[in-house]
Every structure is written in C-alpha cells, then in structure tokens.
Structure 1
Amino acid sequence: MLAAVAIPLAAMVGLASPAQAAGATATYQKASDWGTGFEGRWTVKNTGTAALDSWSITWDFPAGTSVTSAWDADVTNSGTTWTARNKSYNGRLAPGASVTFGFNGSGSGGGDVTDCTLNGDPCDGGGVPGDNAPSAPGTPSAGTVTDTSVALSWTAATDDHGIKNYDVYRGSSKVATVTGTQYTDTGLTAGSTYTYSVRARDTADQVGPASGSRTVTTTGGGGPGGDKIKLGYFTEWGVYDRNYHAKNLDTSGSAAKLTHINYAFGNVQNGRCTMGDSFAAIDKNYTAAQSVDGVGDTWDQPLRGNFNQLLKLKKKHPHLKILWSFGGWTWSGGFGQAMQNPAAFAQSCYDLVYDSRWAGLFDGIDLDWEYPNACGLSCDSSGPAVMKDMMQAFRAKFGDKLLTAAITADAGDGGKIDKADYAGAAQYVDWYNVMTYDFFGAWDAQGPTAPHSPLTSYNGIPIPAFNSDSAIQKLKGMGIPAQKLLLGIGFYGRGWTGVTQSEPGGSATGPAPGKYEQGIDDYKELKSRCPATGTVAGTAYAHCGQQWWSYDTPQTIAGKMTYANNQNLGGAFIWEMSGDTANGELMTAVHNGLG
C-alpha cells in the first residue's frame, strides 16, 4: 500500500508545467496524500505587465476523483470537468502578484490534471514541440488622439513559425484582436487617461509576453478638468464640528469643477495601512436631507458614512476620481516602520483601498509622509532612498491605478526636499502634491508676520527659499517633469494677534483666535471677519484691529493659476475643501484659472 501510494505522490508533489494565459501562469501541486484523499493547491501568478481583474481555472480529473471542499476559491464541476473561480477579495492581481488556493479531494488520481485552461487560454500554452512562443511586440505608439479615440501602432513581434494576430489590451481588458500592427480604440471619454499594451499570438495559438505599456490622455474634457488636474482634499473629520459632508461638494458646485478628490486620512500603524475613523468613514447614518442623492440610510444597509456618500457623488459626477490619502501630519509616524518591508506595506494598503465593502469608490492611493528622512511631528532616519523605494513598491502593487504623494515645499539648501530622493521616486508617481503653504505661521508667536503661502520671494521675507516658486523650480531642476507637479492652495488663513503693523514683518504677541484652532481659520470665516487689506508675493494679507492674517482670495488664486499654466504644471490641489464658501468661490477661481 505504501509503495503504491508513494509512486503517484512522488510524481505529483512536484509542480506541473506552468499554464500560460495572457501573461498569467497557473501551477498545480498535490501537497499531501492519505490514500483515500489528497490536498491539492493551485497558484495563479500574473506574469504580464497589466493587472488581472479576475481568474478562472478549468481542468479535468479522472473519473472517481472529486473536490470535497475548497478555500480561497469557488469550485464547481460538470462531470469530470472542474472550475475554480476567484473570491471577491483575491481576484485582482497586479503584475508580479500571485495567489494560492487549495482544496481537499477524494480518489487516488487527484494529481492527474488534464485539459487545463486559465481564463480560457490553454494551460500548456498550446505549444507544439520545438515551436517557441512569439516575442513581445514593440511598445505601442499613439498616433492621432481625439476626444473619443486613440490610434495605436506597434512594431511586429517575431516567431519561428509566423504571427497569427495581436491582442490589444486597454488596462487589463482585451479590447480587440487584429491581424495587423495597427488599431484605433474608439468610444472613449474626453480628457481621460488610458494605458495600452499588445500581445502577439502565433500560428500555434501560443501567446507571447506583453509589450511595454503606453499611457495616452484623450483630448477635450472641457468642463471638469480639461487637461489640468483640479484636486481637493476632503477630510474625514469634517463631518463633525465643521458639518461638512460629501453633499456640500455637490451643492457648492465644486464637485462639477474638481477632477479628483483625496479622502484624508487613513492611518499607518504597525507596518500597514489602517482605517482612520471608521465611524465617519463607513458607519455614520445619513438622513435623506443630508444625503447626496436625497435618499436616507437604512439601519441594515452594508455601507454608510462618507464612503457611501462619496460613491453617490461619483455616480452623480462620473468624471470624478477619488484617492484614499494615508498619513498626514499627525499620522506620518508609522511610515518608517512600514518601510522596513515595502512589499508588505503596499500589499496591506492595496487590500484596504480595494476592500470589497466599498468596491468602486477608490481609483488610487495618495501617500502623505511628512517627512521621509527628515523631521515633522516626529523624525525619520530611513535614508534618502526610502522615498524612491516606497513609490516603486507601491507602483508594483497598484499597477495602473493612480499613485500620488504629498511632498514638502522646503527648497532651502539642505532642506527637506534635499533629504529624500523625490526625483528618483517621480518615475513611479502620477503626480506630486507640492505643499506650497504653511511656510510661516504663529508657531513663531512673536512673528515676524508673513504670508503662509507666498508665491514668490519678497523684500523682508523671513526665509528667502520659503515660497512656492522656489520649491517648483528646485523640483523641476532635479528633473521632475512639470506635469507631475501640482501647486498647493490653502483654503484657509494663518494669523497673529497683538500686531500693530499693517504690512508683513510686524511683531506679535501670539496666535490669533480661530474658530477651531488658534492661529488658523477658514477663508469663509476670514473674508468678512478680517477682509484683505493688501497683497504681497502673489497672496493676500489682512490687518484688522490687532490681528494680522494671510490667506488667498479669488483674485490671488487667479494669479497663482496663471503661474501654474505658465510653468506647465499638471494643475493645482486644495487643502482643504471645507474652508471654501457655500457657493464655492475659491474652487471657481481655481477652475476658471486653470481652464
């Protein structure tokens, strides 16, 4: 008996030949055998350059062999043909990622897997002995690009027996099979970004590796966004004292003018991404009057809170993209520990961002580490390479999803920009949110008074390099493309009290009172309580009584947007949306200024 069992076990504990399926492999292993039954395991790996959205393996077992239970996959059969499909939580595989599921079976022939397919392609690659798979085609080039179409062409793949056709992929979805080396993708959305790759298939139906990827943005888009990014941070805690909700983005008109929203913030704890305030995010009940679509929450619905309201906002404004931002000033302390294992860190964030409970909400992730290899609320000493290493790990995991970062604007010699490899990391990010605000404030309680977000330097500025233009020029000088830089705009002001001088540079006795916190207040509060009395370095300031404030107005924002356009920046972002007026006058200035 032992000898009889040992022979098939020894033959089958080894891995079977990989199954090729459009850049994915499926490998079977008979992990154990107890005579009347066995444990089998399949591993699916994405070996391509585009993410897989789902996977399905079909194979044949000999008569009398069956699956009795399975985990991490749904397994069904029709006679001797068995099919395993992914669960909701493990179907998406980024390039290089893999997933393993297992099952218990009955019958001694469980290792004899035949006629296997992975996502409909032959498990054995459909090869003929001595026939090699085709090479990768050339990276597609974009020819004519319109509002709704992209013309692609590529150099031919090679094969020892000839090329049959090419599969064209938009992201992870195959959109066409063509016999030539050209294809025009139609029916697209104006002002939207798409990523393409191509695979060759030979006369034996073997599929070769994917070409390089080409990302193309369609023209137009006019209304929301045009060619410029207009991003606003929406804070999780704003639903409390500030009474600012997703519905306010809609009723103010801002949702129609924004292209992207960053939801702030998720936390970074114990080496992984975690939720911040789960009550505000997924549990808070919204009445019909408070809800984006006028439909109130019910006690038994699976998702409530900000996440459900933002899903409704996306449904009403389909052009909007939403990213989940992690970290921020208060929650940056966990990044250093997390980066001791970058791949595990990225995996934890991916699993949380794309949790099935809020499927369809997030289009990517924003990482707000204040500051890598430098000091913020706490200090980090991970080394200058940590920024590049982090973004590389996240790009590998998130594939073609949006990946952005909020970064310092400290352009001083030896300042925070010099502390980390932001230039090396730039190749992996879609854009940087350059925090060109909070240069000066009442943490220097005695002053001198200075605008917290100067666009340029000026005579008497306390630290010459602390201005927006210095930061932008330094980052561009490091080789970071201008289109990957967004100018930061604060929808709030910073102020001092005990000030007698109207112009910048006066002395003070401490921070001015604010509605929620000393030394800071929203634009919507300040515009009437302490109206602007002058401008300096492209921003406004106000002296009222003994208080001195600086903040941006619609007029100064217009000037900053002109600067962003002249510098060919990717656009602008706002910290944060609740500071605007009920009719969104600052957001309107951003929108009109960027065009």
Structure 2
Amino acid sequence: MFKHAVKGCGGISLLLLAASIQAATPNAPVISWMATDYTLQNGSVQVPVRWDMWWGTNGNKWYLAKNDSAVFNGSLSINGQNAQNGSTSLLITQPGSYQLQVTLCQVNGATEECAQSGITTINVSGNAGTDPVDPDPIDPDPIDPDPVDPDPVDPGPIDPTAPAKPAFGWSENSVTLTGASVSLNLAWNMWWGNNGNLWQLKQNGTVVHSASLSSASPAAQSGSHSVNFTSTGSYDFVISLCQQSSDALLCTDSDVKTVNVVSGSGGGANGGGDGSFDPWTDLDMTAWPHPLKQNNVAYNNTTGKKVGAYFVEWGVYGRAFNAADIPAQNLTHIYYGFIPLCGDNPSLQAANPQGYAALNSQCAGKPDYSVVVHDKFAALEKGYPGDVWDQPIRGIFAELYRLKQAHPHIKILPSVGGWTLSDPLYQVGVDPAARAVFIDSIIDFIRTYDFFDGIDIDWEFPGGGGATPELGSALDGAGFATLMQELRAALDALEVETGREYELAAAMSGGVEKLSVVDWEDAAPHMDYINLMTYDYYGAWNGVLGHQTGLYPSPNSPIVGFSADEAVQYLLNRGVPAGKIALGAAMYGRGWQNVSDTTGGNPFTGTGGDGITGGWERGIMDYKKIEADFMGGPDASGVNGFTVGWDDTAKASYVWNPTTNTLISIDTKRSVREKGAYILQHQLGGIFAWEIDADNGHILNAMHEGLGHPQQ
C-alpha cells in the first residue's frame, strides 16, 4: 500500500493548458488561517496574510484588498493545475475593523478573469502612532515577507536550465552550547530535476562551505556539511544548488533554515524550560479553531459511525499540508503516520536512506523495539503561529494539542509501522522480550504526548508479504493476537491511571489471503476497530489490471479475495463483530500508462504498462489532481481525452484515455457513497481514508453522504 515514510519529489504536471486569446477563470483562492485580533505597538502592527489555491486553473496575478481597496498586488507563474499561494505583510497604523479579501486573476492582454476568496475580518486595537493617516490605498502597503515561509512577490521569469530547488533534510532546529562549541550536521536533497555541479552552504548570507557535484539529471542529488558553533544566537542557512560554467554561475536556493543555538542553562521563561509548560493550558490558541477549507462541507454525524483519515508527518513538506488544514470537525478519528520502532529497519534503509539516518539519530541510546518520533523537526520543532522558539513542544504535536482542544470529540491515534517501518514488528509479534519493550515504550509515548487517544498498529503484514520479503512466519497470526491482548491490558491500566479511555485499532490488509493468517478469534475481542485497507488491490508494480479499491469483485477480476466485500464477509464468517470493521476509501488513484491488448472497450481486459507520472510517486496520483486534470470536476464525465468510467458490478470508478492508453483506478464520490451504503447495510463500524492531504474535500464529503449524514 502507499504508506511510505518517504517525502515526495514534487508533482509534475502532465498537461499544459494551450495558450488562448481569452484568459481562463482561476480557481478561487482561500485566505489561510490567521489571528483575528491585533494590537498596535508603537503606533503600528504588521499583519501577515497568506492565501492558498490548492488545485485547479492557475492565475498569473493576485491582489489583496483591505476594506474593498487594493493595497497589494503580485505576479505569479502559471504551473498547470498545481497549487498556488502567496503572502505579504500588511502594515496597519489605525485601530479599527478591517475586511481582507484576495483576488486571483489570469491576465492575458486586455482580458482579465478573476476569482475571489471569502472575506476575513480582523480587529486592531491600541493607540495609533503620530501619523493619523493610513497609507494611500492606491499604493501597496510596505512588504515584510513571512519569516517562516518566504514567498517572493514577483520572482520574475524562471530560467528552465537552472538547477531544481534543494531542500534541507531532517536535523535539529535548536542545539545547546554546553561547552566551548557544538556541531550540527546539515544535509540537503534535491529529489528530481535539473542537476547542479556545485553546491554552497550559506550562513547568514556568507558562503561557509562549497563542494562539487556529479551531474546526472534528472536523478536526485544530495550533500551534507557539519557546522561548528561557538556562540549562542540565531543562524540562518541556505543551500544554493548551482550550475557553474566558465563564465557564469546559475543557482537555485533552498528555503531558509534557522538554527537556534542556546546556552546549556536551557529554555527561558516564555518557553517553560523549567518544566512548568503545560500544552493543554499554555499554548497560544488565538488562531484556532480553523474553518473548513477547500470543498469540505460541515456534516452532522447522525449515525455515530467512525469517519477517519490518515494524516502523514511528511505532508508538511512538499505537500504543504499542516494540522491546521485537517477538516477536523468532519472527522471522528485522525491516524498519525507513522511512528517507527528502533532496531533493524532494512526496508526503510533501502527506500529512504536519509529517513533511516534520522531514525538512527532518534534511537541513539534507546533499546531496540522502543518507539520514537521519526522526523523530530516536523513533529516537535517546526514553528507555527503562536509558538515561541524555546517552547518545549512545537511542531505538529503542538498543533495537534491545539486541534484537540478546539475539537475535543476527535480521537487521535499514533499509527505504528506502515510499509517501510514494519520490519521490527515481526520480532515484536513473536518475541515476548521485544514485545515487552515495545509495549512499555508506546504506553509511555502516549502518556507523554497525551493528546493521543490510543494506539493503531499498522503491521504490514503478519505472515509476510511486506516491504522486506524474507520477513514473516506462520507464528505471526498468533503473535498478532497476543500483541492485541497485551496492548489492551496495558491501555486498560493506563485508563485507571489517567481516567481516560483509549482505543486499540489496527490497519489490516484488505486481501483475504493476508487476513486469513491472523487468529481473529483471539485478537478481535481486544480491539476497537479493524481498519481494512480496501485499496491497493492492484497497481503499477506489475501489469495486472484491476480495480485498486473495488467494493465487489467483477467478472474479470484476476485475483480472488481482492475486494472489500470479500474481506468483510471473511471477517464476519470468522466471528468478528460487524461494528468493529471499518472500510477504507482511497483519496488517490493508481494507474498505468501504455495499456495494451484491450477488448470490447473495457480497459481492464488489457495489460498494464509503466506507472503513471505526475504525482508524488510513480504509479500514484492524488485524487484532487485526477479530478482537476482528467475528470473535469467531481461529477463530470472527463476532460483532456479522458472519460470517467463506472463498473456497476464492482461499484468502482476509473478514468481512461484510449488515445494515450492511460488507465487510473480511483475512488470517486459515486464509489465512496456505495461504500457508505454497504457499511449501513452490514452495520459496519465506519469508514476511513488514506490520506487526507490528497483530497480536496469531495471524497470526505462523500464519506458522510454515503452514511446518510445531513449537512449542517
């Protein structure tokens, strides 16, 4: 399944819109979350404003209006149907109420087509400065780029021969100077694109290291350098990836990485470094709760059934999807992917060497089979609005504390394992000593980060067939059941300690063959939910064509046991209570290029070729991109040579282009509603999806609609 602890290399647009005399109307922008109350300090305040357009027709110019007067404009580069965003800092010098609105436009000569965001109202209090006049609304307010996520107003034309943009890898974001000096290794990656033959590390604008590179475009490049600090302070670093010739140096810079070097005495009063900081009471909640974004619509969960989704740690990078973007009010469960185990992790080492190095750093001094955060920067250090730099917990975890306070109904579970992080679970399942270390560690983990509401085990897969083929044995089925029994006992003891209730769930294969390995009679009584991964049945790892997330088998299904109904009926026949079973929905598609030998107009009668490109991983593409580029909308019949197909036997959707022989198997609103009806028919426990950042709201909305939930 597509649960790799690997950061994506960036989307590549498959289609470019042809030039047209008439400008096209862009998708509407959305003003990102921001505080609503500000106070003038010394007569003024800078208000950061950021907007996003997640997917759809691009614009080449944007405007910010304050009380219906344009106060800023910026240019943009059009990039197919990919996301766009912009930001600026608005100077306010007078108290009052201000209505802000962003307009995104596509300008072509004298023609201008625009779409507007909703209106965000902010209130400014305090005493005005000596200048009683607000800046001329015709001229832009002074610009102070967002220090967290710089977004140049007009980058100008991009040289197509320039190297691709490098990105800093995982490293500490704050280091402690306990003696005369402290060192920090800074590594970077460029996952795909034009190569460079030289790279430079700049510290506060000065080159402190440079090294040559071998060019092999468009393959990945990487490098690292250890920086030595001898004094406290804040240091800004930039990686420049360059193409050097005899007479020129063409470079592309990374985003800025800020490293804080603090003294050995620890945090200051604001951060609660003395242990007094309580994330339940001391976090700044000014920006929360966040409104629903994209196409998400609020629903009333009248059935009480689970509506869950996976949220992935690495999504804060290329996908730019943060905890604030989660449509929390429409979810009952969030599964946080992924929490790794220390020990032998060969599949991670092979798939993601940098992630493997980060895990080893986190595991230093800890016993094998302990759990740790994987990406410490993303989970605990990345700054968000309201954070202070020496706060003991920042990053995604601080945001999830905020989310939980804003939406106390929601259950947040750490998901342990996943495709490239499951290797140690094979030993945990069969070795009592390893299992004891793991259980003690995961209980301590959710005790420490107490926004978590239980444990989700994503062992892929008991009995074998995971990322490391040689792992797995006949003992795993009983071992899984024992793990569930002992985890439940440990959670029950924690409930006595804390007075809270904790859930135990597991993500399981949606294939009957793998399900048959598990001793369900001994495992199910201790579990709250069995999340059937009723997706990834077929994909471009081979040429076998089938519905990757079909509800029922179809007459030409090549593999028996590869449908949601077959998996559910198998568990029911094993005595698993229906209310503990949840179906999985796919917020992404799996597809093939160069499909051949089809008959009768049915693409699934053919043989698949290479995996599709244009997503985060070959063969896979986000639903929101498929909808925009190939469907033409959630209920449309297809665009750009594609048609939207429906298999009424399998209750499964797909898109097919007979000219390019490109086939993508997907969940759509129609197929997800069918899953909801099936859940109601068989009185199952609910539905969940992988993964929330790939949706534009339409799949989650359909999850509610299928369960009969009315809109609020």
Aligned to 1:280: 378
In the TM superposition, what is the alpha-carbon distance from 1:375 to its structure 2 partner? 2.3
Deviations, residues 217-238 of structure 1 (Å, cap 9, x unaligned): xxxx982464201111100111
- The Cα of 1:244 is off from its aligned counterpart by 0.7
Q: CA shift at 1:383, angstroms?
A: 3.6
1:546, CA displacement in angstroms? 2.6
For the Cα contact (< 8 Å) 1:442–1:496, is it kept in 2? yes
**Greater RCO structure (CA 8 Å; 6+ sep):** 2
Equivalent residue runs for 1:55-66 within 5 Å: none
Q: Distance in 2 between matches of 1:465 and 1:408?
A: 11
1:299 aligns with: 389
Match of 1:436 in 2: 534
SS in 1 for 2:467: coil
Is residue 666 of structure 2 the alignment partner of residue 587 of structure 1? no
CA contact (8 A) 1:266 1:327 kept: yes
Q: Secondary structure at the match of 1:302?
A: coil
Deviation at residue 509 of structure 1 after TM alignment: 2.3
The Cα of 1:457 is off from its aligned counterpart by 0.7
2:417: which partner in 1? 327
2:341 pairs, out of 268, 273, 279, with 268
How many angstroms apart in 2 are the aligned matches of 1:325 and 1:387?
Answer: 15
SS in 1 for 2:329: coil
Q: Secondary structure at the match of 2:307?
A: strand
**Counterparts of 1:523 and 1:332, CA distance in 2:** 26
Residue 498 of structure 1 corresponds to 594
Aligned counterparts of 1:516 and 1:390: Cα–Cα separation in 2: 34
Residue 451 in structure 1 maps to residue 543 in structure 2: no
Q: 648, 652, 655: which is aligned to 1:539?
A: 652
Give the secondary structure class of the aligned counterpart of 1:443: coil
Who is 2:525 aligned against?
427
Q: Is the 8 A contact 2:308 2:333 kept in 1?
A: yes
Shift of 1:467: 0.6
**Counterparts of 2:439 and 2:309, CA distance in 1:** 24
Which of structure 1's runs of 4+ aligned residues deviate more than 4 A?
none
Offset of 1:373 from its aligned partner? Answer: 2.3
Query: Match for residue 482 of structure 2?
Result: 389
1 CA distance for matches of 2:584 and 2:302?
Answer: 16
Q: Any idea what the Cα deviations from partners look like across 1:320-371, whole Å, max 9, x if unmatched?
A: 111111001110000122341233321111011221xx33x10111010011
Gaps of 5+ in 1: 1-86, 89-220, 289-294
Alignment partner of 2:511 out of 410, 417, 425: 410
- 1:466-525 deviations in whole A, cap 9, x for unaligned? 111000000110000000000011100000001254522222321111321100010001
Tell me, yes or no, if the aligned pair for 1:374 and 1:419 is still in contact at 8 Å. no
Partner-residue secondary structure (3-state), 2:340: strand
| 2:687 partner SS | strand
Distance in 1, Cα, partners of 2:302 & 2:322 = 22
- For 2:377, give the aligned amino acid: F
Contact 2:299–2:704, Cα closer than 8 Å, also in 1: no
The offset of 1:384, in angstroms, is 2.4
Shift of 1:538: 1.1
CA distance in 2, matches of 1:387, 1:481: 18
Instruction: Give the structure 2 partner of residue 245 of structure 1.
Output: 322
Q: Structure 2: how far apart are the matches of 1:259 and 1:248?
A: 15
Distance 1:243 1:448 in 2: 33
* Residues 224 and 258 in structure 1, CA contact (< 8 A), matched pair in contact too: no
**AA matched with 1:492:** Y
Specify the SS of the correspondent of 2:511: coil
Match of 2:313 in 1: 236
CA distance in 2, matches of 1:576, 1:245: 13
Aligned-partner Cα distance in 2 for 1:384–1:534: 39
TM superposition shift of 1:458: 0.7
Q: For the residues of structure 2 that align with 1:407 and 1:439, how far apart are their CA atoms?
A: 13
Match of 2:52 in 1: none
Q: Once the 2 structures are TM-superposed, how far is the Cα of residue 459 of structure 1 from its aligned partner?
A: 1.2
Deviations 1:397-441 (A, max 9, x none): 111411111111221xxx211212133200111111011110001
- Work out whether residues 540 and 552 of structure 1, in 8 Å CA contact, stay in contact via their aligned partners in 2: yes
Alpha-carbon spacing, 1:509–1:222, altered in 2? closer, same or farther (3 Å): closer
Instruction: Give 1:555's aligned residue.
Output: 670
SS, match of residue 273 in structure 1:
coil
Cα RMSD for the two superposed structures: 1.9
Task: Tell me the residue number matched to 1:564.
Answer: 679
How does 1:48-447 map onto structure 2 within 5 Å? 223-224=300-301, 226-249=303-326, 254-269=327-342, 270-286=368-384, 288=385, 295=386, 297-339=387-429, 340=431, 341=433, 342-355=435-448, 358-359=449-450, 361-378=451-468, 379-381=471-473, 382-399=475-492, 400-411=501-512, 415-444=513-542, 447=543
Compute the displacement of 1:377 (Å).
1.0
* Corresponding residue number in structure 1 for 2:624: 524
Please give the TM-score of this superposition, normalised by the length of structure 1: 0.58
The aligned amino acid for 1:229 is: K
Residues of 2 paired with 1:417 and 1:520: CA distance? 25
1:556 aligned counterpart, secondary structure? helix
SS at match of 2:605: coil
CA distance in 2 between counterparts of 1:383 and 1:539 reads 33
> How far apart, CA to CA, are the structure 2 residues paired with 1:452 and 1:555?
15
Q: Per the alignment, in what secondary structure is the counterpart of residue 565 of structure 2?
A: helix
**8 Å CA contact 2:588, 2:666 repeated in 1:** yes
Query: Is there any run of 5+ residues in structure 2 with no aligned partner, and where?
Result: 1-274, 277-297, 343-367, 493-500, 632-642
TM-score (norm 2): 0.48
Distance 1:397 1:450 in 2: 41
Match of 2:690 in 1: 575
In structure 1, distance between residues paired with 2:336 and 2:421: 14
The Cα offsets for residues 48-102 of structure 1, whole Å up to 9 and x where unpaired, read as xxxxxxxxxxxxxxxxxxxxxxxxxxxxxxxxxxxxxxx99xxxxxxxxxxxxxx
SS at match of 1:533: strand
**Which residue identity is paired with 1:533?**
V
AA at the equivalent of 1:387: F
Letter in 1 for 2:339: G
Structure 2 residue corresponding to 1:483, chosen from 560, 566, 579: 579
| Aligned partners of 1:541 and 1:551 also within 8 Å | yes
Cα distance in 2 for residues equivalent to 1:343 and 1:372: 18
1:507-561 Cα distance to aligned partner (Å, 9 max, x none): 2321111321100010001112222521121111111233110101112111110
One-letter amino acid of the structure 2 residue matched with residue 260 of structure 1:
H
Pair member with larger Rg: 1
CA distance in 2, matches of 1:247, 1:512: 31
Secondary structure of 2:550 counterpart? coil
- One-letter amino acid of the counterpart of residue 423, structure 1: E
Instruction: Find the residue that maps to 1:419 and give its secondary structure.
Output: coil
CA contact (8 A) 2:319 2:693 kept: yes
Q: Distance in 2 between matches of 1:373 and 1:457?
A: 24
Q: Per-residue CA shift, 1:189-241, capped at 9, x if unaligned?
A: xxxxxxxxxxxxxxxxxxxxxxxxxxxxxxxx982464201111100111111
Query: What is the deviation of 1:448?
Result: 3.5
Alignment of 1:1-20 (within 5 A): none
Matched-pair contact (CA < 8 Å) for 1:282–1:304: yes
